[in-house]
Amino acid sequence: MYSHQKLSFDIILLLSFGTNFISSFLKQCEYPYQDPNEIDESFLNKTKIFPSKIRESLIKAISDSAIKQNEQGNRECSNKYNVFLLDNNIVYFIILDAFGYLIALLLKSYSAVKLNSFINQNFISIDLIITLLGIFGLILNIILLFISSLIPCEKDNYYRHFCSSVKENGNNEGNTYYLDNFLYYIVNIRDDLYPKDNDYRAQRPKDIILEIIFSFLMSVFGFYKMRFDLSIIKELGVFHLLI
């Protein structure tokens, strides 16, 4: 009787989670290799005026830089989590991310089963559930926004890959980094809508306008998606929601 439900779960587990987990370890791109021994001819001609030791040190610096770029480029293409390029323990992060995905999937499935009993057995209306979830989500987002906007990240190169620079002092070492910052986002919107003549964003006001429009549309779509999901749970069943 429940064979089709087991089959649907197996298909989702294999095709959705399985393919994402396997692709995490697969090579994502081919980094263009730079030969460390190939030095630009014009550069060699310009360095002939320097003493031999200085000239050799300059050539060695360029060669070492090419080797470093090759290593970093190959590491970038080795997996899809490019934000963690500086972390040599990327395999452990991928495994941790996979377990986090499974835990989130289990919690989502458990909540769907509980919502089914609330709707069909306790006769709680869909509108009331959406209202309560909206209030809870609003409170949680305000708390997270407060934390991310006021607590700065650690001051090292690792955190700068996923934290936004908020307070710029002209020197990168003096900048303050946050995971996310609402005030900094408002400043970016203002700079995009009213860019200066020499600003690189001078041709991008339409991008931020589209972002604002789609931000409101995503909220509307999210509301109807939740309402449709709860309607499926009420009228059909939890396993239909998987499909």
pLDDT (tens digit, 9 = 90+) per residue, 111-130?
888 888 888 888 889 999 99
Q: Which of 58-62, 113-117, 118-122, 139-143 has the highest mean pLDDT?
A: 139-143
The verdict on pTM exceeding 0.85 is no
The first and second tokens of residue 236, run together, are 């059909």
Asked if 24 and 79 touch (Cβ cutoff 8 Å), the reply is yes
Beta-carbon contacts of residue 240 (< 8 Å; ≥ 6 apart):
232
183, 205, 207, 179: which is closest to 194 by C-alpha? 205
Which tens digit of pLDDT belongs to each residue from 4-28? 777 877 887 788 778 877 877 777 7
DSSP, residue by residue, 110-141: HHHHHHHHHHHTS---HHHHHHHHHHHHHHHH
pLDDT digits (tens, 9 = 90+) for 156-172: 666 666 676 666 555 55
- Measured at the CA of 91, the angle between CA 87 and CA 96, to 5 degrees, comes to 100
* DSSP-derived 3-state class of residue 100: helix
